[in-house]
Structure 1
């Protein structure tokens, strides 16, 4: 399992990484997005969804209140989940993230359910560098 570490200068670089990752995804793939508040997870997820849907202007709201936001188009089903508000890991099962094996699943805050971290997935850890400029992305595939 290799790890790729990137310094992303700005939001545009984070979005470009999301677009690049999206091109590698196939039905059934899972992407886990870890990182603190403001680390760039949602920016990355938006770029992934927009690329997968082939719509750079698509509105991709944070699913922090809906918990799961589905997208269908371009011959794909994408489920974008935000588990920040999940208090009990058993609640994750109720979301149905893996009920459709053809779905590409993006999960922010996967650490809310340890079982997610044990799944075969691409893990992207987002963090802020010490100087606060840009973002750091570590990709573990």
Structure 2
């Protein structure tokens, strides 16, 4: 069972991710406005993982709940000291959470498999070859 470690920028938050296989993490790039606002970037990158695979080992996350832009409440967990994003989840996540790529100690171990909300991709940002591309989530 592969194990991945991660945490926040300042080190106050540390976690462990235990998966049956690397394929259990569906890492994807999201170009929606909500992800752009939260990350302060041109996109967000998260891995859909089973909530049971995530274990907080050090510290406590701060929670923020807000509308994801489509009327669904989205919870984001982040470090209250440095602001690093760790997890997000909403009503439609089921038994899953979304882990922020940059919070992994070795993020390249779980590379992105696709892109969502490509209709909102920044015009200067090229499509990434070899990944699936969806204009919206449900396409």
Q: TM-score range by the shorter chain?
A: under 0.3
Relative to its length, the structure with more helix (as a share) is 1
**Which has the higher relative contact order, 1 or 2, with Cα contacts under 8 A spaced 6 or more apart?**
1
The TM-score normalised by the length of structure 2 is 0.25
